[in-house]
Chain A
Amino acid sequence: KAGVTQTPRYLIKTRGQQVTLSCSPISGHRSVSWYQQTPGQGLQFLFEYFSETQRNKGNFPGRFSGRQFSNSRSEMNVSTLELGDSALYLCASSLVPAHNEQFFGPGTRLTVL
């Protein structure tokens, strides 16, 4: 069974631009969560989707948004990029939300110049 895939793996953008990251969960998994990982803040929860509905949202500004499609694939979008958005963005999938174990993708490394 294929694992969680994230595309692209690396991305370089400039301030003010927007970016879209993609995540394909493990087949059969309907829950997808997104995390931002930085050296200073650690792993911070962005949002979680289940059956195309956002179930939970972390404390991030409205520039961060996401969605989930009917095939459970998910995208997250960051508009008006800031230098502080440079981070590793991790996607995790699980059969059902939360207390079930999560399977992580390799992440997308975003660098904002």
Chain B
Amino acid sequence: AQSVTQLGSHVSVSEGALVLLRCNYSSSVPPYLFWYVQYPNQGLQLLLKYTSAATLVKGINGFEAEFKKSETSFHLTKPSAHMSDAAEYFCAVSDSSYQKVTFGTGTKLQVIP
């Protein structure tokens, strides 16, 4: 079975500081990995996805994530936090054998001015 673990349900950073949101996955076959963002009272929006091409994936709004197979991780980073980054972030995993997407429990990012 596939699963996703997001470490830290709440993360606070100062405006301009590095954002690091952690995601570890479990999958018996090569995974597809995604990061989504959800703003209040809205649906989820895709930030970036990994589909076995480059291990460093660049997404929208300055976010990027690195796939590390040895660590089974797919952490999301952004060099400098902006107030508009305050939202909830979800990591998700899928693979061709299960053909089902599994989401993590989410991490709420607070940006302090």
Contacts and interface: CB of A to CB of B under 8 A. Distances in A.
Interface residues of A, number: 21
Contact of A43 (B34, B96, B106): B106
B44 interface: yes
B97 to A, nearest CB: 10
A35 B90 CA distance: 13
B106 A99 contact: no
A42 B43 contact: no
B interface secondary structure, majority: loop
Contacts of B102: 45
A interface secondary structure, majority: strand
A92 interface: yes
B16 to A, nearest CB: 29
Given A42-B104, A99-B51, A104 B45 contact: yes
B46 interface: yes
Interface string B36-52: 10000111111001010
Given A43-B103, A99-B51, A99-B96, A107 B46 contact: no
B43 A99 contact: no
A55 B104 contact: no
B101 A102 contact: yes
13 contacts: A4-B43, A45-B101, A45-B102, A48-B100, A55-B99, A99-B95, A99-B96, A99-B99, A101-B34, A101-B46, A103-B46, A104-B43, A104-B45
Interface of A: 4, 33, 35, 42-43, 45, 48, 55-56, 90, 92, 97-99, 101-107
